[in-house]
Structure 1
Amino acid sequence: MLMIRAIVRPEKVSGILAELSSAGFPAVTRMDVVGRGKQRGVRVGEVVYDEIPKELLLMVVNDEDKEDVISIIARCARTGEKGAFGDGKIFISPVEEVYTISSGAKEL
């Protein structure tokens, strides 16, 4: 199993979630976050905005679903055809164990 973390623009989240759900991936945790990427924020005149609002989407998927989920997120999060600074990042990590809290059962 894999943990997929995607940091995306807030205005892209509803489209991403709709596409993921349509493709059979409805289980997503989302959080409001702030931060900056390589561009070090946005400068408007003399003011630098370095805490840019984003959304963090977290999902645990089977290894064989990784490419489908990444493809959906990347396609739906991209601004225009070529994308733009600030469109986000996707991070993949292995998940060693999963437990359901209510039952205490270990999932495979």
Structure 2
Amino acid sequence: MKMVRAIVRPEKENDVVLALEAKGFPAMTKTHVFGRGKQKGLKVGPIHYDELPKVMLMIVAEDSSVPVIVEVIKNSAYVGYEGDGKVFVSPVTEVYTIRTGEKSEG
């Protein structure tokens, strides 16, 4: 199993969620976050915005589903400018269901 974490623009959140649902991936965790990339924020005239609002989506899926999930996120989050976001994929070695105590191996 893998965890896919995507950091996307807030205005693209709904597009990404709907695209993932349409492809059969309705389960996710969403968190509103602040951060900056290597461009170190955004300068608009004399004002410098050090950290920008973003949305982080987290999805745990079978290894075979990850390429589809990543492609859906890339296509639906794309605007074409710096700050479009990032997608991170990490291994998941264990999963515990709190209600039942059941353990799943990744």
Query: In the alignment, does 2:88 pair up with 1:91?
Result: yes
Structure 1 outlier segments of 4+, above 2 Å:
none
Structure 1 residue aligned with 2:78? 78
Partner of 1:20: 20
TM-score, normalising length from structure 1? 0.94
Partner of 1:8: 8
Q: 1:103 aligns with which of 78, 100, 103?
A: 100
Unmatched 5+ stretches in structure 2: none
The number of residue pairs the alignment matches comes to 105
Q: Deviations over 1:2-30 (max 9, x none)?
A: 01000000010111111111111011100
Q: 1:84 Cα deviation (Å)?
A: 1.1
For normalisation by structure 2, the TM-score amounts to 0.96
C-alpha RMSD over aligned residues: 0.8
Shift of 1:44: 1.5
Show the counterpart of 1:52: 52
